[in-house]
Amino acid sequence: MINNMKKIILILFITCGLGSNINAQVQQIEWEILSLGTIIPTKDAQGLGIILGTEVRFNLYDGKISTGMEFSLSAYHRKYEVYVHEFDDVYNWYKFTDVRTSFLSFYGVCDYNFRPRNKIVPFAGFGLGFVASGYDDAPNGFTVSPSIRAGCEFYKFLRTTLDYRVMKYGFNYFSLRLGFVIGGRNKKI
């Protein structure tokens, strides 16, 4: 899995290098310093969860394309059912109703900005990443996770993002985030 992660990072950097433009009208790098929001699990949830992250993007083709990397932490409570073997050789059914499921995510992302030089910029994109998941302090493993995303950036410093992440074992979820951005503004000519 580490080799796959290296390949994704290499592809992102090659894409950024091929698309860079010295005469660009938009600053090349933007950083979403803090992204905070809620997650809405699609299965067996005990309510909403929380997501906290940061993202660095490289603007290409005068800001029409943004590629970058996102790092996030998220958690929610989930219903989890498991068979437990007792000493008397009888299987009993136990239902744990409040299991905390948490994720550590690293995604490569790519967005298309529909009106990059305007004050309000809608965007849509996708991501592919690696996610480490666990529940109640027990590691569950790593998975490759695709995501689709859309949102809007307001005045080049406030960004809303809605994304859907697909993971193994039915841990899929929607997230709705609000982020604060520096960089990526229009250059003064």
Residue 62, sorted as left (phi over 0), alpha (psi -120 to 50) or beta, turns out to be left
Please tell me the distance from the alpha carbon of residue 124 to that of residue 107, in angstroms, as a whole number. 15
Query: Over its length of 189 residues, how does the chain's per-residue pLDDT go in tens digits?
Result: 556 655 655 555 555 544 444 444 556 888 999 999 999 988 776 778 999 999 999 988 888 899 999 999 998 887 666 555 555 555 555 555 567 788 999 999 999 999 887 889 999 999 999 998 887 655 577 889 999 999 999 988 899 999 999 987 778 899 999 999 988 666 544
Please tell me the distance from the alpha carbon of residue 123 to that of residue 47, in angstroms, as a whole number. 28
| Domains of the chain and any CATH numbers | 2-183 (2.40.160.20)
Please tell me the distance from the alpha carbon of residue 95 to that of residue 78, in angstroms, as a whole number. 11
- Stated pTM of the model: 0.74
